[in-house]
Homo-oligomer: A and B are copies of this chain.
């Protein structure tokens, strides 16, 4: 069963249908990437959550467990478990902050991170090569589109979250 809509052969497609197809294809690709993450995580001996956290750690500077909890919405207790697993697997080290000895920095282990990058490069090798086909002008369009698409997803999430809060927060008193 394919989630992605196919282009109808021969028949001319209306603009609305084309837009709909674009949206569905993006959705499908997004779902597929989530699947990819899951497979990658299990290959690395991690959970999907762990891999997500590791991603955040490698992007930011001097990320702490508390910071991770904020970013992911997990409790600090859960983060302790996540960090334990990632550390045990060798991808990060816990390093005490010397200026504030309560805090930890989650320090990525460069060579292990590079292993992951190598896997990703291998898996997406064909795709990366395929990008060469695009001219600078086309790349302009794609970059602009990708930016807008990202912003749309962020805004949609914020909007939805606001809606949820508005409805659900009638908990105490009356």
Residues of A whose CB lies within 8 Å of any CB of B are 1, 3-4, 7, 15, 18-19, 21-23, 25-36, 39-40, 42-43, 52, 55-56, 59-60, 71, 119, 122-124, 126-128, 130-131, 134, 136, 138-139, 141-143, 145-150, 152-157, 159-161, 163-164
Given contacts A29-B30, A126-B155, list 7 more A-B pairs with CB under 8 A: A19-B131, A25-B143, A30-B34, A32-B157, A123-B156, A126-B152, A130-B148
A64 CB to nearest B CB, Å: 12
Residues in B with CB closer than 8 Å to A59 are: 1, 3
Assembly stoichiometry (copies): 2
Nearest chain B residue, comparing its CB with the CB of A132? B19
Q: Which residues of the partner chain B approach A142 to less than 8 Å between Cβ atoms?
A: 22, 141-142, 145
Which secondary structure dominates where chain A touches chain B? helix
Complex interface: chain B residues within 8 A of A40 (CB)? 160
Task: Assess the A124–B152 pair: CB atoms within 8 A.
Answer: yes
Residues of the B chain whose Cβ atoms lie less than 8 Å from the Cβ of A124: 152, 156
A161 CB contacts on chain B under 8 angstroms: 39
Contact A160 B15, CB 8 Å, known A33-B30, A127-B152: no
Which of B30, B123, B159 lies in contact with A30, CB distance below 8 A?
B30
Contact yes or no, B143 A127, CB < 8 A: no
